[in-house]
A and B are shown apart, each in its own frame.
Chain A
Amino acid sequence: MELARERKRGLSFYLSIYRKILIQDLKSKMSFRTDFIISTFGMVLTNVSGFITFMILFHNFPSVNGWDYNHMLFLYGFSLIALTPVQCFFDNNWNLRFMVRSGDFIKYCFRPINVFFYFISEVFDVKGLGQFAFGLGTFIYAWAHIGIPVTFVTIAEAVLFLMTASLFMIALMNFAAATCFWIINSGYVMVIMFRFKDFAKYPASIFNSVFRFIFTFIIPIAFVAYYPSLVFVTPDRVPLLSWLSPAIGALFFWLSYKFWMLGVRKYDFTGS
């Protein structure tokens, strides 16, 4: 009982800190107004470009591996939404290697709050919201055209599966970013991981068994959209992995957090 109350206070405490840091971050971003506008435009443009690529593909090929246009669109929208949190909330991972190298990272270790939380909350990437809007539009369009029933259960499922699917990409980027505690200049690890997300929007059934195993259990991009989508697209034959994906996502995220924190501890010892 006592413990539960402690935990609860902890959460609201962290939320209020997050809000304060967020406001500061937005203020500083607003002072570079042109940069903000161009970056937002750039983000929208990447989404439009991805969509054009998608349309060109379907202009030439009406279906891929038994997935028709609307189903592919559903996957596409699902992946865009699931990839929004990593863009919006976890963007500071990209700065980690510079901070670690220059030694500026030490400032995060001297605060009486969780290092991971403090570091990650420092940057909120507003540009990601454009992607969210784009993804949501696509998702709803595909949802309506496939004719998935709109009930309390399906919507609750959608929210749950979208949120847990987003954990996979977040965890992948945490792992990739944390490599910089051991390897100098490890930016390329992040670049490679980030490129894999382009393939989250395709059905994992196109891969042979070896690669399906890799993308399910080692670099789990198949969980970003494919497995959770099956719950909605083929409701009568959902594989077990789809139902398990929320739990796997939570576990994977927890592991990445532990790995990240392990790096922090290692960083302390070098005393750089």
Chain B
Amino acid sequence: MTKIRRLTALTRAGIIESLQFRLGTAVMLFGNLIYLALVYFLWKAIYDSSGTDMVNGMTFHDTMIYLILATAIFNLLEMFIVWDMSRAIQSGEIIIHLLKPMRYRLYTFWSYTGAHVNNFFLAFVPTFIVVAVITGGAIPMGMNLLYFMISLILALIVNFNIEMLVAPICLYTESTWGINIVKETIVLLLSGATIPLAFFPEGLRQAVEFLPFRAVYDIPLTVLLAKNGTDTLAGLLPKLGIQALWVVVLTVCGNLFWNHAVKKITVNGG
């Protein structure tokens, strides 16, 4: 019980901390709106020139919902662990984190939950409502919303684990920007956040099926739109199973790697 209270205290601190940057959130929201308008016009032009309503099982509305909510999830899940960790190492602050009576991975995860909660209510939910209203019922409203929440939490854990798996590489290479851009590019492309996976050529799509990235964007969004048979339990459980599998695999790998990397830390001065 005390343990849970300790963890939720981190959540609370995170909520308060991220509420400090209200102007930033407002500007970010405004920037996102313009960005979404860009996405809208691009895909509208694309669908208009294609001459058909349905491409690869996706209508224009489906594609829009998919891409807008992918952006919303991207903002929701965004973590700066790679940056935080390398900054903490450069300043020596990492020692303080390591001395805390809590495992570093656990501490990092829970201190980000506050920002996640905020982003969910202040950015994701409004975006979701706007999209649902504009597309006029293209998003099914039923049990899929609940399934989506489960899938989203799993996606969050997978994303955290990818970050935690990548961040310690900085300890070995002293490269933050480089590592981060490689990670971001790969995740955004192969998770279907830039272009829905349904549009990928067959070979590439099958290859992507075996990678963890689709567990971050593609699976939650597919579940939300109730596509590919995810509206039935028989279709849904395998998808959630894939996510759960990646949670386990990546957590184990991340733990092993972190335990190895933490011995490599050299702090200059501190």
Contact = CB atoms under 8 A, between A and B. Distances in A.
B185 A42 contact: yes
29 contacts: A34-B175, A38-B173, A38-B178, A38-B179, A42-B177, A42-B185, A45-B185, A46-B185, A49-B185, A53-B189, A56-B200, A59-B201, A60-B55, A61-B46, A61-B50, A61-B55, A64-B42, A64-B45, A64-B49, A185-B21, A188-B24, A188-B27, A189-B27, A192-B27, A192-B28, A196-B34, A207-B41, A211-B38, A219-B34
B186 A45 contact: yes
B42 A61 contact: no
A206 B173 contact: no
A66 interface: yes
A183 interface: yes
B35 interface: yes
B182 A202 contact: no
Contacts of B268: none
B129 interface: no
Given A41-B182, A188-B24, A192-B31, A35 B174 contact: yes
Contact of A56 (B177, B185, B201): B201
A63 B38 CA distance: 18
Interface in A185-203: 185, 188-189, 191-192, 195-196, 199, 202
Contact of A64 (B37, B46, B204): B46
A205 to B, nearest CB: 8
A188 B182 contact: no
A66 B49 CA distance: 7
Nearest to A207: B41
A183 B23 contact: yes
A188 B189 contact: no
B199 interface: yes
Contacts of B175: 32, 34-35, 38-39
B199 to A, nearest CB: 5
Given A66-B49, A195-B35, A199-B42, A185 B24 contact: yes
Measured as residues with beta carbon below 8 angstroms from the partner, the interface class of chain A is 35 or more
Contact of A42 (B178, B188, B200): B178
Nearest to A43: B181
A-B CB proximity, top 8 nearest: A192-B31, A38-B178, A39-B178, A35-B175, A206-B45, A42-B181, A38-B175, A42-B182
A202 B135 CA distance: 24
A34 to B, nearest CB: 5
Contacts of B10: none
A65 interface: yes
B195 A211 contact: no
Nearest to A32: B174
Given A34-B175, A208-B41, A211-B41, A57 B28 contact: no
A102 B31 CA distance: 27
Given A42-B179, A199-B42, 11 more contacts: A34-B173, A34-B174, A39-B175, A53-B189, A60-B55, A64-B45, A64-B49, A65-B48, A192-B28, A208-B41, A219-B34
B2 interface: no
Contacts of A192: 27-28, 31, 34-35
Contacts of A65: 45, 48-49
A40 B181 CA distance: 10
Contacts of B21: 185
B49 A45 contact: no
Among A37, A65, A206, A211, residue most surrounded by chain B Cβ atoms (within 10 Å): A206
B27 A60 contact: no
A52 interface: yes
A173 B29 CA distance: 19
Nearest to A206: B45
B56 A60 contact: yes
A53 B50 contact: no
A46 B181 contact: yes
A37 B23 CA distance: 37
Contacts of A38: 173, 175, 178-179, 182
A32 B34 CA distance: 38
Given A32-B175, A35-B175, A188-B27, A206 B195 contact: no
B268 to A, nearest CB: 14
Contacts of A211: 37-38, 41
Contacts of A40: 178
A205 B232 CA distance: 43
B194 interface: yes
B113 to A, nearest CB: 21
A39 B176 CA distance: 9
B239 interface: no
B46 A45 contact: no
A206 B44 contact: yes
Given A34-B174, A42-B178, A211-B41, A57 B46 contact: yes
B42 A202 contact: yes
Interface in B48-107: 48-50, 55-56
